[in-house]
Amino acid sequence: MKAEDLLFSHPFPVVVTDGEGKIKLVNQKFEALVNRSQKYLKGKYLFSLLEGGEKLKKHLLEAYNKSIDVLGVRLGDRYFSFSPLYVSNNLKGVVVVVEPAGELSFGEDILLLLKGLSHEIRNPLGGIKGAAKLFKELSSYDEELVNVMIEEIERIERLLNDVVRSFDFSSLSFKKENIHRLIQQAVELFSSRISEMDIEILYRFDPSLPEIPVDADRLLQALINLIKNAIEAMEECPRRILKLETGYAIHPSGFIFIKVSDTGKGMDSEELKNFSLPFFTTKEKGLGLGSFIVREVVKGHGGELKVESRKGEGTSVTLLLPMKREDGKDSCGR
């Protein structure tokens, strides 16, 4: 079986380029996509043929130069995925797969859901609030009761604002931070629970790690959720160890890792598959949003999330975070 046979059997448009983005091979579906033959396309730069060329070029070169997969890049009504092409262990180019954009991702979906829910709740709240204010203008009413109504309505409005803001990961504020300080800050929040459960904390920090640009509040939010999950997973386990590790990632290069491991109940393959889906939980009480938040925070930083787990043995969650922002700037925008 030849590589060409595999390409032509693929359900989506596929193009193979060299390390600079020059087209070497395409399948029939890609020919149909751009309405050009392979003979015409060969040797042309991929990013000169499609909309969003600069973004395509950036991610293609990233996949080649860093030897990493860059998946799910949305441009218009299509998703692009870039994977390094190896021939006999030698890096020869990049395989690009083009898929039609389907439904919104979970992150976009849940944010729209929350915004819609917030909007629908605000409408009756506004009516009630207006009626309460008109009620105050009557000659006889219980002023204390009306004030309580207005205060409670305003409290719900503030809560809705906080809920929508907490799930909007589209706008992050980057500043260089000490990752170890953030991890210890997150652990400290659970100090009484850790002491109560007699959990052993193991720190395996690489002291040579530099400060990296992150959104401290969002990353702290992710770490809190991970540590909370780890503690809860060990509640019924006799051996309770929470290990927190950091270091330089070997693959992909240019990243650091934060690894949170526990000796808890672990997950089976089905639970692991659904780990970061919103509203999925194995707990009797809980919304199943903690792991989803972690995934979205890491994604917002341009990083990756990796999860390993074995039923009855424990779980390890690794956050891979870039040492530089995607645009190559430092925290001051230089």
Which runs of consecutive H residues, i.e. helices, occur in the chain?
3-9, 28-34, 38-41, 53-66, 106-136, 143-166, 179-188, 191-196, 216-233, 269-273, 290-300
Whether pLDDT at 331 is above 50: no
pLDDT of 286 reads: 42
Joined together, the tokens standing for residue 204 give: 């395996």
Lowest-pLDDT range of 74-83, 126-135, 178-187: 126-135
Confidence at 103, pLDDT banded by 50, 70, 90: very low
pLDDT digits (tens, 9 = 90+) for 213-247: 999 988 998 899 899 989 999 998 999 999 999 99
Token pair recorded at residue 16? 């193979």
Confidence (pLDDT) at 66: 87
The pLDDT score that the predictor gives to residue 127 is 65
- The predicted pLDDT at position 195 comes to 92
What integer pLDDT is reported at residue 163 of this predicted model?
Answer: 60
For position 213, what pLDDT does the model report?
A: 93
Burial class (CB in 10 A: 0-12, 13-18, 19+), 125: middle
pLDDT in tens, 108-167: 555 555 555 555 566 666 667 776 777 777 766 677 777 777 777 777 777 666 565 666
